[in-house]
Amino acid sequence: MMQGWVMHGARLLAALMLAALVATAGWASAAAADPGPQEQRKIEGQALEAFKRIMTLWREEVYFELYDQGTAASKARISREDFAQRMVKLEWLPSGEINPRNLKAEFRFRTMVYIQARIPYKNKFNTGEPFAKEQTVQLLLEEGQWRIDLIQLIRSPYVE
């Protein structure tokens, strides 16, 4: 009888140890999935560089290439030609480089970063009316490239 309890106890102990091992492995893999501060800074830096490229394409009015920087969801909402036409009709363009002091990336996930920027705008038709605007845009990592919502770009000079 005593031998039965010992066997039962040994099985119970083995089961508990196995459960603890599985739980620890699960926590370790979950922890490994979250990037550390150094990796977060790297991801933010990549997103910032992508945002600067997007602003350069917009400033230079290269709208077909700018369209290629759009998220899949925004491309599903607007065609390349419609996007280019709407961008040509905008009165406002980014003017000059964005001051690095007014440019900040905020990591959310490995595939999502928010960029906060003070974007200087100039009027295409009346150069005497420049203004700057604080804006936050979301960049998503799709197919290995940081992409932006194209509809947000069309609206950005006007959205409050």
Q: What are the C-alpha distances in Å from 65 to residues 5, 28, 40? A: 74, 42, 28
Reported as a pLDDT band with limits 50, 70 and 90, residue 18 is low
57: which residues sit within 8 A by CB, 6+ positions away?
63, 65, 66, 69
- pLDDT computed for residue 40 by the predictor: 82
Q: 153 pLDDT exceeds 60?
A: yes
Q: What is the pLDDT of residues 23-49, one digit of tens each?
A: 444 444 444 567 788 888 898 889 889
Residue 11 lies in a domain: no
Domain assignment of residue 69, yes or no: yes
Whole-prediction pTM: 0.72
Q: What is the number of structural domains in the chain?
A: 1
Q: How confident is the model at residue 63 (pLDDT cuts 50, 70, 90)?
A: very high
Would you say residue 143 lies in a domain?
yes
26 within domain boundaries: no
C-alpha of 112 from chain center: 3
Mean pLDDT of 10-26: 52
Most confident of the ranges 11-15, 51-55, 111-115, 131-135: 51-55
Structural domain contains residue 20 = no
Q: The domain containing residue 98 runs over which residues?
A: 37-155
Residue 65 lies inside a defined structural domain of this protein:
yes
User: CATH no. for residue 133?
Assistant: 3.10.450.100
| Mean pLDDT, all residues of the chain | 79
> At residue 145, does pLDDT exceed 70?
yes
The pLDDT-based confidence of 14 (bands split at 50, 70, 90) is: low
Residue 114 lies in a domain: yes
pLDDT tens digits for 72-106? 999 999 999 999 999 998 888 888 788 878 888 88
CB atoms within 10 A of CB 8: 10
CB 139 within 8 A of CB 115: yes
43 within a domain of the structure (yes/no): yes
pLDDT of residue 53: 93
